Amino acid sequence: MVLFAAIGLLMWIGFLFAAWVLCMILWLLCQSVVWLMDLHAAHARRKKASAPKRVVQPARKAPARKPAVREVTSDIMPKWTPAHRRYVNRDRADWQKQFDALDSRR
């Protein structure tokens, strides 16, 4: 019984090794085709004549802008309104009541 298991294991290892070898052969063929295509493309390129270098003028700096005036109004920051403060205070009071109720059950 053990002999059949050992033979099966060896056959499985042999199959995996053969599959790996076939994959490596295919990979090498693909890499050699890519390499040959790259060599062909390198020969097909034209060599460009070197042109005289151009003198490039430095870019002018943009004029400085005045900072924009910011007006703080209540509609920009609604969390500072009295209605929002009342809402937050009510919410905190509700949370405190719930916490105290949990604490008092012990």
* Domain membership flag for residue 8: yes
Residue 22 covered by a domain:
yes
The reported pTM is: 0.37
Within a domain: 10: yes
Domain annotation covers residue 67? no
Domain count, the chain: 1
pLDDT band for 17, please (50, 70, 90 cuts).
Answer: very high
37 located within any domain: yes
3-class DSSP state of 29: helix
Q: Is residue 55 part of a domain?
A: no
**Residue 77: predicted pLDDT:** 62
Q: How does pLDDT run across 21-69, given as a tens digit for each residue?
A: 999 999 999 999 988 888 766 666 666 666 778 888 888 888 888 888 8
Report the alpha-carbon distance of residue 35 to residue 78 in Å, rounded. Answer: 66
Is residue 84 a contact partner of residue 78, using CB atoms and an 8 Å limit?
yes
Distances (CA, A) of 85 to 1, 17, 63, 81, 94: 82, 73, 44, 6, 14
Residue 104 covered by a domain: no
Question: 41 is in which domain, residue-wise?
Answer: 1-47
3-state secondary structure of 97: helix
Assess if residue 30 is contained within a domain.
Answer: yes
Query: Distance between CA 69 and CA 64 in Å, rounded?
Result: 15
